[in-house]
Structure 1
Amino acid sequence: MKPETFQLREMMLSDYEAVLGLMRRTPGVSVRDADSEAAIARFLERNPNLSFVAEQDERLVGCLMAGHDGRRGALYHLAVAADCRRRGIASALVARCLAALEGLGIHKTHVDVFRNNADGNAFWAAAGWTRRDDVHRFSMICGGGSNA
C-alpha cells in the first residue's frame, strides 16, 4: 500500500466491530470492558470529530481515538493492520487527531503505551513524543470487573 492509497475519515459507531477486530489483532493494544460498544458510543458522543479511521479499498486498516478534558488531549488505541504498517497510516492518524484537538484549543496531548509494547514505544519515540519518567499513573476500578 502506498501512503496516497488510503483515506482517513471520522470514526463512526458503525465502525465499532471493524475497529474492535483490528484492536484485538494488534499486539500491544488492550481491549477492556471499557471498550464495549456502549462505552465507545459515549466516548464518540462526548468527543465528536476527534477519532479517525483509515480505509483502503473499503477495508478499515487503521484507527485512533482522541478525546480531551478541556485542557489536555488523550489518544487511545492506535492500531494499523499488520500488512499495512510502515506506510504512513499511523502518522497520518496521529496528525489528524492532533489537528482536531488543536482546533479546539488543546495544545498538549498524552498517550499511554504499555512498557512491553516495543513497537508502540518505538513508534511514539520516533515520532518525537517525549516519554515521561517524572509521573506515575495510578488507577482505581470502582464497580465493574477487574477488566474495566
Structure 2
Amino acid sequence: MVNIRVMSTADYDAVLELMQDTPGISLRDADSREATERYLARNPGMSFVAQDSGRLIACVMCGHDGRRGYLQHLLVLPAYRRQGIAQALVQRCLTELEQLGIHKCHLDVFKTNTDAARYWQGQGWTLRTDIDRYSFTRAGNENA
C-alpha cells in the first residue's frame, strides 16, 4: 500500500537516489543536502514523498514566494507509474499552496524532456509561450 507523507531532511539520500536514477532530471549544486535542507525549512510541510513497504518510490518538492507556487522534481519510479501517485503528490502540494492563499503554481521542464511535457499537458497544465525565463548565477556556481 502506498503511503504519502511530508518529506523530511532524513529523506535526502533516498530522494537523491531517485533523482540520479530518473532520466530527464538534472542535478545541480542547488540539489545539495544543505540546499535541500534550507528549502524544506523555508517551505515546511509542502514537499512530499510516497513510500511502499517502507521504500521511497516517489517525491515532489514544493515551495512558494508568497504569491506563486513552484514545483520541482516530481519523480515516480517506473514500476509505480500510471497509478495516480504523481497526481496525488501534486494535489497535496496544490492544496497546501491554496491553504496559504496561493492559487497559481509554476514548474520548469527541460525542452528535451518530452515525457514530462506530455505528462504536464495531459494534467491540464499550460505551456507558457509568452515569457522566457532568465537565470543569473554567481561566477563559480554554474551548476547552481
Cα deviation, residue 144, structure 1: 3.7
2:117 is aligned with 1:121: yes
Say which of 107, 126, 141 aligns to 1:145: 141
Say which of 53, 59, 62 aligns to 2:58: 62
Say which of 11, 15, 19 aligns to 2:15: 19
1:66 partner SS: strand
2:132 partner SS: coil
Q: What letter corresponds to residue 123 of structure 1 in structure 2?
A: Y
Aligned CA-pair RMSD: 0.8
- The corresponding residue for 2:88 is 92
Q: What letter corresponds to residue 116 of structure 2 in structure 1?
A: G
CA–CA separation in structure 2 for the residues paired with 1:99 and 1:121:
22
CA–CA separation in structure 1 for the residues paired with 2:88 and 2:2:
10
Question: How do 1:37-76 residues align onto structure 2 when only pairs under 5 Å count?
Answer: 37-76=33-72
Cα deviation, residue 145, structure 1: 2.6
TM-score (norm 2): 0.97
Cα deviation, residue 27, structure 1: 1.0
Q: What letter corresponds to residue 99 of structure 1 in structure 2?
A: T
Say which of 85, 105, 111 aligns to 1:109: 105
The percentage of aligned residue pairs carrying the same residue is 54
In structure 2, the gaps of 5 or more residues are none
2:24 is aligned with 1:28: yes
May I ask how many residue pairs the two structures share in their alignment? 144
- The corresponding residue for 2:79 is 83
Cα deviation, residue 146, structure 1: 1.7
TM-score (norm 1): 0.95
Which portions of structure 1, spanning 4 or more consecutive aligned residues, are displaced by more than 4 angstroms? none
CA–CA separation in structure 2 for the residues paired with 1:76 and 1:39:
13
Q: Deviations over 1:41-94 (max 9, x none)?
A: 000000001000000110000000000000000000111112111111111110
Cα deviation, residue 123, structure 1: 0.6
CA–CA separation in structure 2 for the residues paired with 1:144 and 1:97:
33
In structure 1, the gaps of 5 or more residues are none
CA–CA separation in structure 2 for the residues paired with 1:67 and 1:142:
22
